[in-house]
Structure 1
Amino acid sequence: MVETKELNLIQKLNEASKHIGPIGKDGNNSFQKYRFQSETAIKYAVESAIREAGIRIIPQYEVINQYDKASKRGGENHFVDVMGTFTIMDGENTVVGTMPGSGQDSGEKAMAKACTSAQKYFYKQLFNITDKDEDPDADDSNPNGGYTQGTQKRQHPNPTPASKKQKDTLGKLFQAISDKAKTDLNVVATAILNKAEATSMDQLTHESANELVILATNKLTKLSEEGNKTA
């Protein structure tokens, strides 16, 4: 890795990204029959790269929704949704990003799974981590579940409406994108809401709101990187 002392934070992130590369599918879901990149493999690759670049990433999580739902086998599953906030720092400058995460379990592990999910996918998006293979998350684990790659839309019999916290987060992201892109706020909001086939945030489900948060976060990150390059 090149000397990073004279690099700014974005340049250090770019340098770290060069040394991560594709990560193979080392995990196996025997129940749903697919392989995936494990949290351990992603954390190991990211930690090694950012440590060499002189970067730390500090996570913080806020619970935005949790509920219990009866399982088909009897009993209840606990569902937790969190919004992860990740502060990236090098001792001088900081960059903050967000990523939602969801977890389910019959016990208290649901919270840990939600936090793990947020961190794992934040790392994957931040460093563009791929496995050079088709992403299993692009397919529905239930072949009759109504998830299509083209629209990335899941259909559930009784979808949970988007929470106030999710709407507030989207509102802040819309405003930040509007400010960065110097574009009218209504134009930004309409363009992003259209991705979920919605005309207002009141029409969003909990899941579609999470997907829009990821989309808007990625858009804001890209605008920030472009701004740093031209600064």
Structure 2
Amino acid sequence: MDRLAGRIAVVTGGGSGIGLASARRFIEEGATVYLFGRRQDALDAAVASLGDRARAVQGSVTDQADLDRLFATVKDEAGHLDILFANAGGGSFAPLGRITREQYDATFDVNVKGLIFTVQGGLPLMRAGGSIILTGSTTGEMGTPQFSIYSATKGAVRNLARSWAQDLRGTGIRVNVLSPGPTRTDLALEVVGEAEFEALGATTPLGRLGEPSETAGAAAFLASDDSSYMTGSEIFVDGGLAQI
């Protein structure tokens, strides 16, 4: 398929998991992809596996200088941006009563503040027909024990998309949310624990964990003209977890 032929994409959190799988799918469909992430070793391995239409810029979405360097690189090398997948994120468990200011700050800095300034940094490079994809979560739709701070950030992401769809009226640029359910990534297995995460996957109507490639397929749809009449929307790739 060549739905993304000639397009320029940025994927944050692109060194592993859903970000890497989405970058691979974008490249398979014709795009050139700039991966952005904190770990240089992961980025190097990702670029080696993806081939000559992958680039990498090391940095954190919490550092404005890093974001400026990312988009300066895209501008210098490509001149514009067609697809911005704001995927970087993370969180940790803490029940009410044990939430710390440090945990709150770290989670909101990446998942909300970092996402806002990622999108704001890339927006001047985007043109009509561009697609902004924000990573949400089933946790933004449903209560999750001990995960309230992460869940709150994803609720914020959902409303950012609704509001930005209004802000982007007349530009031809779309913004949508892609919300995975329990998906087999190294980060998720590390945070939750493999046995616990497998058990969560078993509770979905499909009875299993999702694979990053399955979410990547939905990301490619949102990146392409196949979703040209969608903005302010949310797509769940969750095995039905948040739908019942």
Same fold, judged at TM 0.5 (above)? no
Which of 1 and 2 has greater Rg?
1
Higher relative contact order (CA 8 A, sep 6+): 2
